[in-house]
Structure 1
Amino acid sequence: MIYLDHAATSWPKPPEVIEAVQQALQGQMASPGRGNHGMALQAGRTIMKARIQLAKLLDVKNTSDIMFSSNTTSALNLAIKGILKPGDHVIATMVEHNSVRRPLEFLKRTIGIEVSYMELSTEGELSLENFQKTFQSNTRLVVCSHSSNLLGSILPISELARIAHLNGALILIDAAQTAGAYPIRIHEDKLDMVAFPGHKSLLGPQGTGALVLSPEIDLVPLLHGGTGSQSEELEQPNVRPDRYEAGTPNTPGIAGLLAGTSYVMNIGVNNIYQHEWALTQHIMQGLLDIPNISVLGPGLGAERTGIVAFNVKGRDAAEIAFHLDRNYQIAVRAGYHCSPLAHKTASTLSIGAVRASVGYSSTKEDADILIRAIQEMYKA
């Protein structure tokens, strides 16, 4: 199989990740933080090591500000539902994933928040001048995808954070497409909240993710329950990360995430980005040389993550993906990618798109096989 669906889940996982999960299943399956016997303590040490590695990678000063979750969606829900109150105004963008849009629309419907979705260019560029004009006296939060999961465009989150803070608002970054694949400096860029997955560019297992939360922010917990600490109290403990991590954690998954994060750090995020960027440029050039093909997002030579979404004139996106899988053993994703706002921005809401997404394990040969397959299928 030529696997080009890394924007959904990275594959194959490094051998180190598989081994770490297996070792955890074999010898660390006690509940961390819930016992003082050897196996429970070992599980707790593994989870702490994962926090330490993620803190180094993402420029987080206090490991207790990293709250593990089951995925980016749960981390985003914790942040959005934990900070917003009736009457608050939120600024989001027109490339947001449903993991942002649906919680916002739920709160709009149920408690009366206001939401403004910033228009972007068809390439995914945002006007900072228009962004500044969108703030209101009650703007509480800015939420934005660091990189669109359809367009591959990258927003200037450092500048957005600066403008948000000047206007008295907090900023929440959806780093689903960038954590592990593009440099993120949470402390340096003064990012208040950052949600990210473990199963994409950090190369960990599914069912892992985290929210990094500024020490100045207190959220209403999304879940209430056992934490292994302050068990005699009726209320959720105030101490981090326990306050936001009710229930038994996914120790094998976090062990795999630790191994994946270490793998990424050994390679270097900048090296990963350059590798993936070069492959996207190669794929884009090859597709653009084929008649009747349009490629979404930033043009050749522009900054983007490892995503190339495209359409063939007069052809159904799902049909293209089906033939690539059935006849060429190439895995891509077709449809709306849980991001209808981005498709509206790209003027593809009526047709969707085919998305090929590369990872560090992808090769130029993989890219060439995709290009040749499309040429055979659709070249005039």
Structure 2
Amino acid sequence: MLYINNASTSSPKPEAVYKAVELCIRTSGMSSDRSSFVSKLDFIPNETRALIAKLINASDPTQIVFTMNGTEALNLAIKGILKRGDHVITTSLEHNSVIRPLKHLEQDGDIELSIVQASSEGLLDPNDIVPLIKSNTKLIVTAHITNVLGTTIPIEEIGKIAAQHNIKYLVDAAQSIGFADIDVEKMNIDMLAFPGHKSLFGPSGTGGLYIKKGIDLTPIKYGGTGNLSEPITQPDFLPYKYESGTPNTLGICGLNAGLKFVASEGVANIRKHEHELACMLYEELSTIKGVTLYGPKSPAEITSIVAFNVKDKNPMKVANTLITKFGIITRPGLHCAPLTHQTVGTWKDGSVRISAGYFNTKEHIDEVVKAVAAITAT
């Protein structure tokens, strides 16, 4: 099998990730901070916070709150900061993990919502945000890299606009952390949500939220935190204010190893390799008659994701043929991002998405291209 669906979950993981999870469950598979026995396990969460903080240039590791995935992090940020009567600005390129919490609050009459329309290539002009700003605009939410097209949203420019108007800025870094350079201070990012199982090479069930100092979110869950058990009210300090319940210790151990792998390989090297593969794929697919490509056409704007359709063939059937006949795993459909597909004109069937990972090779791209060419010829 050839796996080339890394925008969903990176696979395979570095060998160190597998070993870290196994070592954790075999030798220290107990809850951190919840035992009389102190082991190396008790230091892993804080070390992992420090690795994440360094990666995104956060000044204090306690600003990193662990969540079960990027979706929970986005829900914590969105529901935790917004109050009734607030106005929010987002874009037509967002994942449902952003859109659905916002639409829920809008439908309940809690917030007003404005959606900035991107171009048919999936590109966003940050200046289009400015006319939508109101006196009650509390939050701007955007992805960094879109999950359908791989287009990069200019978050530094948006961060400046948000700061100039005293608006909080939340970034969905699901497709960018570990692949793109992120500096939360320089980019004026107030909150950054991310999963651990994509370009950080961690296991599923891991993720986190960076929260800028001075921002107070209402928790979305309350309970035991493993320490400070005397009061019957929730601790009021980070990260424990937002980390109730037994943590995913095994996942955090794996994420720790994944972060160390990213640090050792270097974000720039990871990005260079995946970008080269995506550009190669885009260029080769563009020569096949009957293939329609979506997203940016310039190599400089391509990241690691390529979306396409085959003329007169449903993307679900194309993906099914790729897996059953050629052993190639991709991702067809709407990719949990219906607004993006409406933006680029692929609603309602969607497209086939191919997303290169660090362990993919040029030979893998050749296999994909030959398979797509064979499908178009039938």
Q: Which residue of 1 aligns with 2:34?
A: 34
* 2:22 counterpart letter in structure 1: Q
Count residues in correspondence.
378
Q: Which residue of 2 aligns with 1:194?
A: 192
- Normalising by structure 1, what TM-score? 0.97
Q: Which residue of 2 aligns with 1:99?
A: 97
* 1:3 counterpart letter in structure 2: Y
Is the CA contact (8 Å cut-off) linking 2:50 and 2:61 kept in structure 1? yes
Deviations along 1:172-219, one digit per CA (max 9) or x if unpaired, are: 000000010111111222210000010000001000000000011010
Q: How does 1:121-270 map to 2 (within 5 A)?
A: 121-270=119-268
Whole-angstrom distance in 1 between the partners of 2:301 and 2:125: 16
Whole-angstrom distance in 2 between the partners of 1:172 and 1:379: 45
Whole-angstrom distance in 2 between the partners of 1:304 and 1:194: 22
> Is residue 13 of structure 2 the alignment partner of residue 10 of structure 1?
no
* 2:84 counterpart letter in structure 1: P
Q: How does 1:368-379 map to 2 (within 5 A)?
A: 368-379=366-377
CA drift of 1:297 comes to: 0.7
Is the CA contact (8 Å cut-off) linking 1:285 and 1:300 kept in structure 2? no
Whole-angstrom distance in 2 between the partners of 1:213 and 1:365: 41
Deviations along 1:291-350, one digit per CA (max 9) or x if unpaired, are: 111111111313232110101111000000000000000000100000001001111112
3-state DSSP class of the match of 1:38?
coil
Q: Which residue of 2 aligns with 1:293?
A: 291
Whole-angstrom distance in 1 between the partners of 2:364 and 2:121: 25
> Is residue 31 of structure 2 the alignment partner of residue 67 of structure 1?
no
Whole-angstrom distance in 2 between the partners of 1:310 and 1:204: 28
Is the CA contact (8 Å cut-off) linking 2:163 and 2:188 kept in structure 1? no
* 2:6 counterpart letter in structure 1: H
Identity %: 43
Whole-angstrom distance in 1 between the partners of 2:109 and 2:245: 27
3-state DSSP class of the match of 1:5?
coil
CA drift of 1:167 comes to: 1.2
3-state DSSP class of the match of 2:301?
coil
Is the CA contact (8 Å cut-off) linking 1:86 and 1:112 kept in structure 2? yes
Deviations along 1:97-127, one digit per CA (max 9) or x if unpaired, are: 0000010011112242011110001112112
CA drift of 1:38 comes to: 2.4
> Is residue 346 of structure 2 the alignment partner of residue 342 of structure 1?
no
Deviations along 1:216-263, one digit per CA (max 9) or x if unpaired, are: 101000110000232222221011100000011111100100100110
RMSD value, Cα: 1.1
* 2:14 counterpart letter in structure 1: P
Whole-angstrom distance in 2 between the partners of 1:77 and 1:2: 34
**Most deviating of 322-331 and 180-189:** 180-189
Q: Which residue of 1 aligns with 2:106?
A: 108
3-state DSSP class of the match of 1:298?
coil
Whole-angstrom distance in 2 between the partners of 1:71 and 1:161: 24
* 2:97 counterpart letter in structure 1: S
Q: Which residue of 1 aligns with 2:45?
A: 47
CA drift of 1:37 comes to: 1.5
Whole-angstrom distance in 2 between the partners of 1:218 and 1:247: 20
CA drift of 1:378 comes to: 0.7
3-state DSSP class of the match of 2:171?
strand
> Is residue 117 of structure 2 the alignment partner of residue 119 of structure 1?
yes
Is the CA contact (8 Å cut-off) linking 1:180 and 1:264 kept in structure 2? yes
Q: Which residue of 1 aligns with 2:326?
A: 328
Is the CA contact (8 Å cut-off) linking 2:89 and 2:139 kept in structure 1? yes
Whole-angstrom distance in 2 between the partners of 1:284 and 1:154: 16
Whole-angstrom distance in 1 between the partners of 2:302 and 2:198: 16
Structure 1: unaligned runs, 5 residues or longer: none
Is the CA contact (8 Å cut-off) linking 1:55 and 1:61 kept in structure 2? yes
Q: How does 1:356-375 map to 2 (within 5 A)?
A: 356-375=354-373
- Normalising by structure 2, what TM-score? 0.98
Whole-angstrom distance in 2 between the partners of 1:53 and 1:75: 18
Whole-angstrom distance in 2 between the partners of 1:193 and 1:111: 24
CA drift of 1:156 comes to: 1.1
* 1:93 counterpart letter in structure 2: T
Moved over 4 A (4+): none
Whole-angstrom distance in 1 between the partners of 2:235 and 2:109: 26
Q: Which residue of 1 aligns with 2:281?
A: 283
